[in-house]
Structure 1
Amino acid sequence: MAHYSLSEEQKAFYHGQGYLINLPSVFSPAEMAQLNAELKNLEALLEPGEKMMAIREWHISSRWLYDVCTRPQILDYVEGILGPNFYMWGSQFFAKSPNSKETVAWHQDAYYWPLHPHNSVTIWLAFTDVNEDNGAMQIIPKSHKAGLITHTSNSGDSVLTLELEQGTFNEADAKSLILHAGQISLHDDAIVHGSPANQSDRWRNGLTVRYSGTNVKCDLTKAPQFKAYLVRGADEFNYNPPGVIPTEPFARLSKEHHIASTDEFKK
């Protein structure tokens, strides 16, 4: 099995800028066609009125999704950032229908998460081609170095309940993360990011997966449902309850799993 390592230059870019793109595709076009066909098995489990965003942490219940989240090539890239010991704990689909007005307000992931210290990486796997026309994710390079910034309530078209206060960063510095289906981007848990509306006639679908070093502890009083899946190396800290790898290929996670969460962890 091939091993995909990050170069020292790529690691330096990530730590300096807070993100990384332009990596070799994780899934081929044929594999992505199959994944998109198989994804319909999860979509069929959504209740009337639920959107793709409701497919959140279903890696706990669906072996198919767990296997996507633990693709060795993805883990190789994450290892280049987090080191040899890390776990996977979060996943969620973000889908924008053609000509959708929905946006994702500017925010920092770490603001929502009761995880300490900040040592987490998110990968964004493109299930469709993603560019500026259909609402690609945008990031503010180097913004992860500023620490956590004040967020306020959002009342617009954003799918998030909170957003960064105006004037806390320069939106003119934004960079769009353009990806072909099957490619991934990586970003730091503190980088400022968001995405505009989809102004095209195409879908914009992606899967986010969250990984943290084993030194990262979750505050279980805020997220009692939290489960850590050790995907590389050894857990020398044992801070978090381990997850059980699912056996059912396609199964939804119960709503009660998320009811236990506080608003600070809903993302």
Structure 2
Amino acid sequence: MKDFQIIPTENELDSLQRDLSFHPAGVPNPSTLTRDQIEHFNQRGFVAPLNLFSDDEIGDIRSYFDDLLATVTAGGGDSYSISSAHLKYGPVYDILNDPRIIDPVADLLGDNVIGWGSHFFCKMPGDGKAVAWHQDASYWPLSPSKAVTVWLAIDDADQENACMKFIAGSHTKGHMTYRPSDSAEHNVLNQTIDNPEQYGDLVYDPLRAGQASIHADLLLHGSEANQSDRRRCGLTLRYCSADVRAALGWNEKGVQVRGSDPSGHWSNRPRP
């Protein structure tokens, strides 16, 4: 299987003709989200919090992740390296397909939904690494820009242990100029957008374990270093509408989670 943990190079992405403009979301008759929530997503770029899993259910997911993390780190990985997990681990594939997650996503993206990404972002106590201000769409060889990220809290996430933060409304500004991050910045990612406040208001995204937020792929967001004595783990789940096209072989990551894929562009791999 191709190693999808390798981020496409800037030259590879620049060679693609991508539509990186915001496409307003929402369906005429939403099943889960309210019209106010959909309007909030379109204007502010996110919707949160969504109550998805009970304490017992998220406790089971956390226990599964604890065991998975121990296995991965014993093999030389780290707490950020569990990526494209739905292609390797059946329980993560099941979460990607959970109707409680797909229902609100489909209210934003429409009847035909592809789940294509799953990545644990786990900041250990005193981790020291920040996630600099960035747009998800910068990293993805996808077009048009009709994709969202669901951030499922595995642990409680608040400002003390470095919950996510957004620049509300920044998703409407288009694709932004970024600079490469250097090693001195202790950034989990390799891009940084400076002076984010020029694009909108700073909003924090605290979530209890079992809650989730959904944000647009063009929304400027990040998180600070976890200097607390508590872990902060979230599972990011990536979805797009089935009419989105993926270059560089990324269509192999896609699983049809709702409706159909009329063109057959996405590979729709079976549960691992």
TM-score by length of 1: 0.85
Question: Which has the larger displacement, 130-139 or 168-177?
Answer: 168-177
Q: Tell me by how many angstroms 1:171 deviates.
A: 7.8
Note the alpha carbon deviations across 1:52-97, whole angstroms, 9 max, x for none.
Answer: 2111012112111111122110001101110111110000001111
Task: Report the alpha carbon displacement of residue 239 of structure 1 after superposing the two structures with TM.
Answer: 2.3
Other-structure match for 2:175:
148
Q: Secondary structure at the match of 1:44?
A: helix
Contact 1:115 1:216 in 2 (8 A): yes
Which whole-Å CA distance do the structure 2 matches of 1:87 and 1:14 have between them? 19
SS at match of 2:150: strand
> Partner residue of 1:83?
110
**Letter of the structure 1 residue corresponding to residue 87 of structure 2:** I
Letter in 1 for 2:191: L
**In the alignment, is residue 181 of structure 1 matched against residue 232 of structure 2?**
no
Q: SS state of the match for residue 170, structure 1?
A: helix
Provide the rounded CA distance (Å) in 2 between the counterparts of 1:159 and 1:36.
22
SS across alignment from 1:90: strand
> What is the Cα deviation at residue 133 of structure 1?
0.5
State the match for 2:59 in structure 1: 33
Query: 1:113, 1:237 → 2: CA distance?
Result: 20
- The aligned runs of 1:159-238 (5 Å cut-off) are 159-164=188-193, 166-167=194-195, 169-170=197-198, 173-220=201-248, 223=249, 226-238=252-264
**Unpaired segments ≥5 residues, structure 2:** 1-29
Match of 2:268 in 1: 242
Is the Cα contact below 8 Å between 2:134 and 2:222 reproduced in 1?
A: yes
SS at match of 1:54: coil
Q: Does 1:22 align with 2:49?
A: yes
What amino acid does structure 2 have at the position aligned with 1:204? R
* Bigger mean CA deviation after superposition, 29-38 or 12-21: 29-38
Distance across 2 between alignment mates of 1:188 and 1:26 = 19
CA RMSD of aligned residues (A): 1.8
Report the Cα offset of residue 37 of structure 1. Answer: 1.2
Letter in 1 for 2:266: N
* Count of aligned positions: 240
**Which residue of the other structure, out of 70, 76, 94, is the alignment partner of 2:97?**
70
More displaced 10-residue stretch of structure 1: 225-234 or 72-81:
225-234
Amino acid of the structure 2 residue aligned with 1:212: C
C-alpha deviation, 1:40, in angstroms: 2.7
Contact 1:214 1:238 in 2 (8 A): no
Q: Is 2:154 the partner of 1:127?
A: yes
For 2:60 and 2:267, how far apart are their aligned partners in 1? Answer: 33
Q: Which runs of 4+ in 1 moved over 6 A?
A: none
**Displacement, 1:42?**
1.7
Partner of 1:101, secondary structure, is coil
Percent of aligned positions that are identical: 36
Structure 1 position 129, deviation (Å)? 0.6
Distance 1:74 1:187, change over 3 A: same
Gaps of 5+ in 1: 247-267
Deviation, structure 1 residue 36: 1.2
How many Å apart are 1:47 and its aligned residue? 4.3
Report the CA distance between 1:117 and its aligned residue.
0.3
1:242 offset after TM fit, Å? 2.5
Residues 195, 39 of structure 1: alpha-carbon distance in 2 compared, 3 angstrom cutoff: same
Judge conservation of contact 1:4–1:73 (CA < 8 Å) in 2.
no
* 1:154-203 per-position Cα deviation (integer Å, ceiling 9, x unaligned): 01111101111x23643882111010000000000000000001122111
